[in-house]
């Protein structure tokens, strides 16, 4: 058995791009995924990009038996945990599904790791744990809060990791707080594939540009920001993937670690700036209407990136024009394949 990185949710948006980055860095990957929001076809695309098809096991992180089998049959040295539900609005309608998948699933996974004596764990947290920012840029010591069940599941898992780390020697863990991941692999072979109406800005913008949807609704232009629309720290998913490889290396090299770092660019762009960048990248118009604010939204949010640079030697490198160009390539190639 050769040493393997277990990637839960590896066929999803961020998991698939990170699998590509891991394989290109020379790691052997085993994906565990229940395919609730993705498909097996992603494995072919990863193989086309990297020349290697990752190992795959259909299974759920809530299922202790599947997890036990995974750890028994493979020489797993570390786990990157992406599998989870991620729609804020949905989390207020079906909170128990969110606590079950995101919290119970993480507990089952950590318990299986403990049993197998695998103590290297990289977790997908979110900038949502900062709540409404008290000051910008957001540093990792900013107070945490949650205004919806999704955000609360991220807070709880961060705390579970800290408790576990304090209870037993040898855990090397990273809590990676993502800002707003966008873009796609430059090949156009993998990207974000939301089911139904996209909740997030950039997949929606992409579908307006293709003509699949008539116009974008901009949620408010009366925020205290330069043009009145919401400002976010958009990060290219390939930069985010590289951040995971750096965090994994850090954990594998450490004897003991509980790292908490922002993965963002440090720069904020407004909704209208992103719309214009997408129009430029695609050559297509993106008509929009200004509508009421979306409940729960904050005005502005961007990362302090110094800690990630100091501890991981990692920085995001890609600008919004590249994020939009790569998202557009994915969207148009995907439309042709359908």
Residue nearest to ligand WQD (CB): 230
**Cis link prior to 274 (omega < 30° from 0)?**
no
Q: Is 90 a residue that touches ligand WQD (CB under 6 A)?
A: no
Q: Is 217 a residue that touches ligand WQD (CB under 6 A)?
A: yes
Q: Is 176 a residue that touches ligand WQD (CB under 6 A)?
A: no
Q: Is 230 a residue that touches ligand WQD (CB under 6 A)?
A: yes
CA nearest to 158, candidates 108, 124, 197, 202: 124
The residue annotated as part of the active site, out of 150, 178, 223, 234, is: 150
Residue pair 191/185 in contact by the 8 Å Cβ criterion: yes
Query: For ligand WQD, which residue of 8, 128, 262, 265 counts as binding (CB under 6 A)?
Result: 128
Query: For ligand WQD, which residue of 82, 98, 204, 278 counts as binding (CB under 6 A)?
Result: 204
CA distance 239 to 255: 26
For the question of residue 178 being annotated catalytic, the response is no
Compare residues 113 and 218 and give the one whose CB is closer to ligand WQD: 218
Q: Is 218 a residue that touches ligand WQD (CB under 6 A)?
A: yes
∠ at Cα 171 (108, 72), nearest 5°?
50
CB of 71 to ligand WQD, least distance (A): 27
Find the largest Cα–Cα distance for the chain: 58
Q: Is 219 a residue that touches ligand WQD (CB under 6 A)?
A: yes
Helices 271-282 and 201-209 pack at an angle, to 10 degrees, of: 40
Compare residues 122 and 218 and give the one whose CB is closer to ligand WQD: 218
Structure tokens of 194? 């939301």
331: Cβ–Cβ under 8 A, 6 or more apart, which residues? Answer: 191, 206, 207, 209, 210
Compare residues 49 and 206 and give the one whose CB is closer to ligand WQD: 206
Q: Is 88 a residue that touches ligand WQD (CB under 6 A)?
A: yes
Q: Is 200 a residue that touches ligand WQD (CB under 6 A)?
A: yes
Residue pair 246/210 in contact by the 8 Å Cβ criterion: no
Q: Is 265 a residue that touches ligand WQD (CB under 6 A)?
A: no
Structure tokens of 145? 């809060």
Q: Specify the DSSP element, H or E, that contains 223.
A: none
CB of 59 to ligand WQD, least distance (A): 22
Q: Is 125 a residue that touches ligand WQD (CB under 6 A)?
A: no
Q: Is 142 a residue that touches ligand WQD (CB under 6 A)?
A: no
x/- letters, 288..307, toward ligand WQD (CB under 6 A): ------x--x----------
Structure tokens of 316? 């995001």
Q: Is 263 a residue that touches ligand WQD (CB under 6 A)?
A: no
Q: Is 180 a residue that touches ligand WQD (CB under 6 A)?
A: yes
Beta bridge partners of 236: 182
Using the contact rule CB under 6 A, the part of the chain among 31-39, 137-145, 168-176, 212-220 near ligand WQD is 212-220
- With CB under 6 A as the rule, give the number of residues binding ligand WQD: 18
Q: Is 232 a residue that touches ligand WQD (CB under 6 A)?
A: yes
Length reported for the chain: 338
Residue pair 245/24 in contact by the 8 Å Cβ criterion: no
Please give, one letter per residue, the 3-state secondary structure of 265-322: CCCCEEHHHHHHHHHHHHCCCCCEEEECCCCCCCCECCECCHHHHHHHCCCCCCCHHH
Query: For ligand WQD, which residue of 77, 251, 263, 271 counts as binding (CB under 6 A)?
Result: 271
Binding site for ligand WQD (CB under 6 A): 86, 88, 126, 128, 180, 199-201, 204, 216-219, 230, 232, 271, 294, 297
Active-site positions read: 150
């Amino acid at each position: 058995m050769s040493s393997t990185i277990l990637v839960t949710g590896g066929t999803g948006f961020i998991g698939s791009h990170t699998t590509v980055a891991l394989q290109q860095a020379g790691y052997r990957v085993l994906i565990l995924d229940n395919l609730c929001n993705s498909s097996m076809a992603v494995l072919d695309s990863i193989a086309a990009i990297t020349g290697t098809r990752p190992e795959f096991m259909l299974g759920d992180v809530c299922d202790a038996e599947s997890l036990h089998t995974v750890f028994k049959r493979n020489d797993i040295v570390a786990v990157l945990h992406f599998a989870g539900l991620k729609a804020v609005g949905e989390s207020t309608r079906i909170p128990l599904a969110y606590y079950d998948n995101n919290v119970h699933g993480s507990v089952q996974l950590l318990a299986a790791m403990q049993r197998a004596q695998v103590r290297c764990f990289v977790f997908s947290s979110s900038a949502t744990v900062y709540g409404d920012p008290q000051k910008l840029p957001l540093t990792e010591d900013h107070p945490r809060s949650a205004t919806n069940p999704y955000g609360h599941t991220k807070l709880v898992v961060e705390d579970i990791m800290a408790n576990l780390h304090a209870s037993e020697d040898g855990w090397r863990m990273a809590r990676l707080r993502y800002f707003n991941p966008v873009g796609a692999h430059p090949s156009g072979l993998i990207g974000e594939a939301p089911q139904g109406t996209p909740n997030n800005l950039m997949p929606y913008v992409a579908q307006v540009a293709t003509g699949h949807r008539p116009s974008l609704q901009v949620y408010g232009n009366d925020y205290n920001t330069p043009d009145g629309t919401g400002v976010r720290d958009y990060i290219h998913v390939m930069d985010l993937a590289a951040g995971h490889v750096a965090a994994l290396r850090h954990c594998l090299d450490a004897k003991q670690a509980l790292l908490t770092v922002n993965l963002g660019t440090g720069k904020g762009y407004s909704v209208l700036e992103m719309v214009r960048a997408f129009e430029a990248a695609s050559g297509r118009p993106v008509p929009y209407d200004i509508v009421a604010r979306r409940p729960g939204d904050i005005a502005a949010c961007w990362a302090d990136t110094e800690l990630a640079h100091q501890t991981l030697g990692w920085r995001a490198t890609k600008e919004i024009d590249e994020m939009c160009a790569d998202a557009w390539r994915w969207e148009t190639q995907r439309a042709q394949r359908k």
